[in-house]
Structure formats: C-alpha cells, structure tokens
Copies of this chain bind each other. A is one copy, B any other.
Amino acid sequence: MSKSAIEGRQRVIEAAAAMLASHGLRGISIREVIKFANAPLGSTYHNFPNGKQQIVTEAVQWAGEQASAQLQACLAQDKENGIQLFLQQWRKRLTKSEFRHGCPIVAAAIEASEEEDAEPVKQAVSTVFAHWQQLLTTHLISLGHAASYAQSLAVAVIACIEGAVVLCRGQQNIAPFDAIIECIPAMLAAKQA
C-alpha cells in the first residue's frame, strides 16, 4: 500500500469522525465524507471492504482514542483540577463551533442502536465509553474515593458531560455546560455514597 493511500485512508476516518459529530450517523454519506477528505471514491471498498459500517466503526474508535488522550493529558497535568481542565477544553470547543460540533460517539450510539449490520459500530461505542469510565475511575480512586463509588462517579460525570453537550446543541447556548461545570464539583466533593 502506497504512502499516499494510507494517508488518504486516515483522512477518510478523520473526516467521518468530524462529520459524525455534526451531522450524525445517517446524516453523512460515503460520497460526502470522501469529498470532504479529498479522497477517491473509487477506492472506498478497497480501503474499507465492509463499506460505511467499517468507516463509521473506525471513526468511532479514532475519535474515542482522541478524547481519551485529551482526558488523560488533563488529568496528568493537574491531578486536583484535571476534570475541570477537561471541561473547559470542551466548553471552548462547543462555543467555537457555535454548538454544531457534538460528540461523535453519542451520535453513533443513538443512531446505530436499531440498525441492522451495525454490531461492530455498537461494539466500538461500548468499548469507547468503557475506556473513558475506566480512565476516570482510576483517577478518582487516586484522589481518595472508595473504589465502588468512584466507578459510579466516573459514569455520572461522563453522563453529565454528554448530556450537557446535547442540551447546548438543542438550545444553541453554552449555559447548560456552565451549569454542569458549576455542579459537578458538588458530586466530586462527596467522598462516599
């Protein structure tokens, strides 16, 4: 496989992830993704033998890893306020895109749930969510929380963030995100269930 072909393949995945975040799973077509990525349509099924399902699956995995890396960087940079750091970064991203850019994993989770031949997509979504939870749980334990409560807390924080992103998009307003930035510390302050 030539070098430019590899780059083209990766461009398709990243384009799919970006368009997934703004248009949703069924809002994107192979033709549009390919055009956005400046990649050739003719070689789509050469690079992705399983078609759209495979493109979406790899886009979810890639976007999930990107977010994980970003979260990990925040937590490593400031152990006490790493979560707040992460929240601020997402806040900026939301406002800069004028609430057009959501979470691609959420989009895939919602739109792939009742589709046939979407098992790989659902599997990727589940894995990404699980990885985020594990990252946060570990961090919360290192902050002194009890293991079992840390697990619940991690899930609750992720739910809060994802929900707030949806609310911001729905209301075209950053207020929901500021609300969770204000309220999440109260959850984190409670040391036990």
Contact = CB atoms under 8 A, between A and B. Distances in A.
A113 B126 CA distance: 24
A52 interface: no
Given A111-B27, A152-B179, A167 B158 contact: yes
A136 B45 CA distance: 50
Which range contains the number of A residues in contact with the other chain?
35 or more
A2 to B, nearest CB: 34
A110 interface: yes
A25 B26 CA distance: 9
Interface of A: 22-27, 99-100, 102, 105-107, 109-111, 113-115, 122, 125-126, 129-130, 149, 151-156, 158-164, 166-167, 169-172, 175-176, 178-180, 182-184, 186-187, 189-190, 193
List the 3 shortest-distance A-B pairs measured between CB atoms, nearest first: A159-B163, A163-B163, A186-B190
